[in-house]
Amino acid sequence: MFERIDVLLMLIPGLPLLAAIVTALLGPRVLRSMSHVPVVVAFAVSFLCSLLLVFEVRDQQSPPELEGQVISTRTIGYEHLTRLWTWASIDGAYESDAVGTATDAPDFRIDITLRADALTAMMLAMVTFISSLVAIFGSGYMDGDRGYWRFFTYVALFVFSMTMLVSVSNFVLLFVFWEAVGACSYLLIGFWYEKPEAAAAGKKAFLVNRIGDFAFTIALFLIWTTYGSLNYHDTLKDGRFQSDVVSQAIESGRQDVVVPGVLGQTRIAANDYVIGEHGQVTVTAICILLMLGACGKSAQFPLHVWLPDAMEGPTPVSALIHAATMVTAGVYMVARCTPLFMSSPPAQMLVAVIGGFTALLAALIALTQFDLKRVLAYSTISQLGYMFLALGAGTLAGITGGMFHLFTHAFFKALLFLGAGSVMHAMGHIIDMRRFSGLRRLMPHTHWTFLFGCLALAGVAPFAGFWSKDAVLAAVETKAHALEHEIAIRHGDGGHATSHGTGEDHVPAYLSPAEYDHLKAGLYSGLSDAELHRNALLYKSLYILGLVVAFLTAFYTFRAFFMTFYGEERVPHEAEHHAHESPGNMVVPLGVLAFCALLVGLYFDRTPADGGHAFAEFLEHTPSLAGGLVVATAAPHEFHLSVAATSTFVAIGGILVALYLYLGDRREVDWLKYLLNLEWLGRVTDVESASRLRQLPWVAGVYRVAKSVRLGWLASLIGQVLLLVVLILTAPILLGLFLTPYRLSVRKFYFDEIYNLLVVVPLRFGARVLYAIDRWLIDGVVNLCGRLPVAFGGLMRSLQMGLVQFYALSMMLGVLVLLLVKVLWMN
């Protein structure tokens, strides 16, 4: 008998799948222009079910009254599992020292199991809410398109795949729906397949993601061989997985019948991830491979190149991909695997470095783009970098802060993309900001809602981005201070290192002081003082980098806003006769998202009752975050005023610079452009510089003296040596003239050209060589084997002509040949 929470878990992904089937079957002939109805209804009901699931999880995860007793870590993290059926089962598939012996080797089981915990509930609510609004917007944006029913079928499959991805409790099923999300994105990005650009963008997204997926596959193999399981949760060897049954088996001393899940509460509580002689290397390799998979799906360096080209798809697809699905999958996966990453400090730092570098790189590229959707695309890459930066901090505040930024980013990024779609719809599908301006009077609703999205993205209080972005920056800064505090403790000066709360431990109520001290000791036990100092310096640098990115984000966001809605009113000739505000079914989702962009961060960041962080306190009950090393990083939820003030000052500075450069007539300051293009450096290599140099009085005097004492040859030699030195020194300058900051940004740091040169061209050449070998050598040998009998048969057939004269002549010639051979042989 299914419980209510089981029904909710099945309905949330089941309804979008049902809508996809109905739309695919009835859309072409029956529904036609009403093909959006089953999809919108399914998404809306799924969202309501997701809200009920959030309330169910919140009610179940509330800890009991402690009354001085210590509660086991396993009872704090709440999860509910629903098994639908067993997909595959192989008895004794692998022998693992970590689980048992050859006589009780674990089975390889793939159960279609859905899970409900805080992380899953949050993701489901966000995905279904954004999807509902995007589907409503899409009903107006795609109106009249001949692929109307096909569009909504793909969208419904996309949402089904994403909801299953965050609901499953097995790495194999995670990979299955990881691939399903990629396949749906290929169909949606290349939706207008008649356009060569759209078809190429779909193929590019699919192929680039294969690189990350290959790494993900290897990671799954290592997980299975290392831990003997691919389930998140603990199970018994008879297949049962209910938490109370597993707990009873452990309490009764029958641990041998328990198969610990990779992210199960048994393994997390024991922190049992470094197994065997090379355990640390193995867990680091697993984490790096998982991160590479996340880089592909979440468009992080070096696999970020597919996302900007994905703008060739319909704008509602862009909003769905960038806000709620696909790109958030990588962030979700890394957050879900927190216990693994906590066991590998090098992998943790790699996550932070990749996130920080990607955030800066994408922000620099966004500065000079003129395609409005591409500006937002690079903004998405940059903001995803923020999320990985927070996750890489390796603290509870960092993980909750990164997921909080994912949550708030979904609202204002969906708002911005749908606003860009509204502009594109009114401008005759023109999105180049140089071809229109001053649209605030033509499109007042889009103007105001887009402004709300820009303020949220720039991180201006009290909009959503302000709270989540500051949570990210505060987590990184606090991590640096925590590392410095650890160094001070080791040198006996821990009492004086009390910055940002790091000098006072925050012991969770469900842990005894002994348990907490044990976890705390294991947090930095493998790091030397030099490594701690280096890591602290790294996180300090990443914090400063985050502030730089905040400035750039505010600048390019309002650059796009001012270029689109202010200045002289201009519209492209493609839209001269129908430039107007979008219809109601497109404006209403913008209004709802603008309201969320304004208040959702404020509501979830602080609760009126106790001043805590509602989002973080809800998410911390996820089993992956409720035990293990991450608990040792817990800190009181507090508002970091210094970080908030600094980031706000930086954001306002970026807005003011954009205001100065682009408000009114869109001008660029000449000296700034002159500086960025490095034209002033070109004077060093000017051919006229030598003649000007000789006109200087002291140079001319030295030259005349040297010539009068017949040392002109020495002066010439010195001049030639100096010329050679100048040429050597100016070589980087000449390179800089070609690779100016402005040109690097416009050309996206030449990543497409580099990949084309290093990857595409060699692969294409190799493919042609292999094609030639396959066609002329392999197929040639096979065809030759088939043609030889035919040729021999034709030859023999030609000898049977039915003419007696021919036979007699042949016999005579044969006799002569034999005689000739006989004579030659005798001689």
pLDDT 10s digits, 673-727: 555 555 544 454 444 555 555 556 655 666 666 666 555 556 666 666 666 666 6
The confidence score (pLDDT) of residue 677 equals 55
Round to whole Å and give the CA distance between 252 and 236: 14
Same-domain check for residues 783 and 727: no
The confidence score (pLDDT) of residue 773 equals 92
Round to whole Å and give the CA distance between 189 and 192: 8
Length of the chain: 827
Judged by average pLDDT, the poorest of 6-10, 115-119, 737-741, 781-785 is 737-741
As a whole number of Å, the end-to-end CA separation of the chain is 103
Same-domain check for residues 505 and 624: yes
Round to whole Å and give the CA distance between 534 and 645: 27
Mean pLDDT, range 526-542, rounded to an integer: 88
Q: What is the DSSP letter of 90?
A: E
Round to whole Å and give the CA distance between 428 and 431: 9
Same-domain check for residues 387 and 494: yes
Residue with tokens 């995007």: 134
In angstroms, the Cα distances linking 72 to 124, 248, 517 are 28, 13, 15
Q: Is the pLDDT of residue 71 over 70?
A: no
Using alpha carbons, select from 605, 651, 611 the residue that is nearest to residue 464: 605
Mean model confidence pLDDT for the chain: 83
Identify which has the larger pLDDT, 732 or 633: 633
The confidence score (pLDDT) of residue 254 equals 64
190 found inside a domain: no
pLDDT class for 491, splitting at 50, 70, 90? confident
Last residue of a domain, one of 697, 713, 739: 739
Using alpha carbons, select from 571, 316, 328, 559 the residue that is nearest to residue 419: 316
Residue with tokens 């592909």: 296
Round to whole Å and give the CA distance between 272 and 96: 14
Last residue of a domain, one of 698, 715, 739: 739
Residue 265, CB-side half-sphere exposure with 13 Å CA sphere? 21
Token readout for 116 is 């409900």
**Highest-scoring range by mean pLDDT, 263-277, 293-307, 567-581:** 293-307
Round to whole Å and give the CA distance between 138 and 132: 10
The confidence score (pLDDT) of residue 273 equals 80
Question: What's the burial of 392, exposed, middle or buried (CB within 10 Å: 0-12/13-18/19+)?
Answer: buried
**What is the torsion angle, in degrees rounded to the nearest 10, for the CA atoms of residue 450, residue 454, residue 456 and residue 457?**
130
Same-domain check for residues 755 and 735: no
- pLDDT digit string (tens) for 585-612? 899 999 999 999 998 988 887 644 455 6
Using alpha carbons, select from 379, 546, 403, 380 the residue that is nearest to residue 479: 546
83 found inside a domain: no
Per the structure, the count of domains in the chain is 3
The confidence score (pLDDT) of residue 717 equals 61
Contact indicator for 570, 381 with CB cutoff of 8 Å: no
Identify which has the larger pLDDT, 83 or 450: 450
Element (H, E) at 114: strand 108-116
Mean pLDDT, range 266-288, rounded to an integer: 83
Residue with tokens 């591409």: 374
SS3 of residue 115 by DSSP: strand
Same-domain check for residues 457 and 597: yes
Judged by average pLDDT, the poorest of 59-68, 378-387, 550-559, 734-743 is 59-68
**Highest-scoring range by mean pLDDT, 432-436, 504-508, 721-725:** 432-436
Give the other-Cβ count within 10 Å of 602's Cβ.
14
235 found inside a domain: no
Q: Which amino acid is at 124?
A: L
The confidence score (pLDDT) of residue 506 equals 60
609 found inside a domain: yes
- pLDDT digit string (tens) for 313-371? 899 999 999 988 889 999 999 999 999 999 898 999 999 999 999 999 999 999 989 99
476 found inside a domain: yes
Same-domain check for residues 447 and 395: yes
Q: Is the pLDDT of residue 98 over 50?
A: no
Same-domain check for residues 697 and 727: yes
Round to whole Å and give the CA distance between 407 and 129: 11
Which residues does 403 contact at the CB level (< 8 Å), separation at least 6? Answer: 119, 122, 331, 335, 387, 615, 619
496 found inside a domain: yes
SS3 of residue 82 by DSSP: strand
Token readout for 716 is 């010439």
Same-domain check for residues 698 and 767: no
pLDDT class for 744, splitting at 50, 70, 90? confident
Same-domain check for residues 788 and 770: yes
Give the other-Cβ count within 10 Å of 664's Cβ.
12
513 found inside a domain: yes
The confidence score (pLDDT) of residue 616 equals 87
The confidence score (pLDDT) of residue 824 equals 85
The confidence score (pLDDT) of residue 649 equals 93
Same-domain check for residues 526 and 632: yes
Round to whole Å and give the CA distance between 751 and 35: 40
Q: Is the pLDDT of residue 734 over 80?
A: no
Question: What's the burial of 45, exposed, middle or buried (CB within 10 Å: 0-12/13-18/19+)?
Answer: middle
Round to whole Å and give the CA distance between 735 and 233: 55
| HEC-encoded secondary structure of 700-751 | HHHHHHHHHCCCHHHHHHHHHHHHHHHHHHHHHHHHHHHCCHHHHHHCHHHH
Identify which has the larger pLDDT, 267 or 451: 451
Q: What is the DSSP letter of 432?
A: B
- pLDDT digit string (tens) for 14-25? 999 999 999 999
Round to whole Å and give the CA distance between 283 and 281: 6
Same-domain check for residues 602 and 718: no
Token readout for 339 is 């216990």
Last residue of a domain, one of 739, 764, 780: 739
- Alpha helices per DSSP H over 252-324: 265-270, 279-297, 306-309, 315-323
Phi-psi region of 389 (alpha: psi -120 to 50; beta: other; left: phi over 0): alpha
Mean pLDDT, range 619-644, rounded to an integer: 81
Q: Is the pLDDT of residue 267 over 90?
A: no
Q: Which amino acid is at 103?
A: T
Q: What is the DSSP letter of 776?
A: I
Range of the domain at 817: 749-826
- pLDDT digit string (tens) for 472-488? 999 999 999 888 888 88
The confidence score (pLDDT) of residue 266 equals 78
550 found inside a domain: yes
Q: What is the CA radius of gyration of the chain?
A: 34
Round to whole Å and give the CA distance between 643 and 638: 12
In angstroms, the Cα distances linking 373 to 81, 140, 209, 379, 576 are 40, 19, 21, 10, 21
Same-domain check for residues 415 and 486: yes
Round to whole Å and give the CA distance between 191 and 183: 12
